[in-house]
Amino acid sequence: MSAPEKGPEHAYAPAVGDVVTDARTGREGRVMGHVGPLWQLRPLPGGREWDADPEHMRPNPSLAERRDAANDGGNLDDWSL
């Protein structure tokens, strides 16, 4: 029995504006667009874009989702960023 083939239908398909993590570098960035097979990501605080392979890109939960998960429904006034 062979391993399942990994095809394009299994790759994450980001949209412009998505916040993602480049698993290759560990950096978070906002998707700005793509040229050919590589996507351009810009650091969240701004700065120079870098090229990322979509096979190494992972979607990031939104800030609200992170707060909810960390807080588990508690008082958001106590949350510090």
CA atoms of 11 and 45, how far apart (whole Å): 27
Tokens representing 59?
Answer: 């979607």
In this prediction, residue 68 carries a pLDDT of 64
Compute mean pLDDT per 10 residues along the chain, 81 residues long, and list them.
46 86 93 94 94 92 64 53 48
Query: Token digits for 24?
Result: 């290759």
Q: How far, in Å, CA of 60 to CA of 58, rounded?
A: 6
Residue with the two structure tokens 């609200």: 64
Domains recognised in the chain with CATH numbers: 14-70 (2.30.30.140)
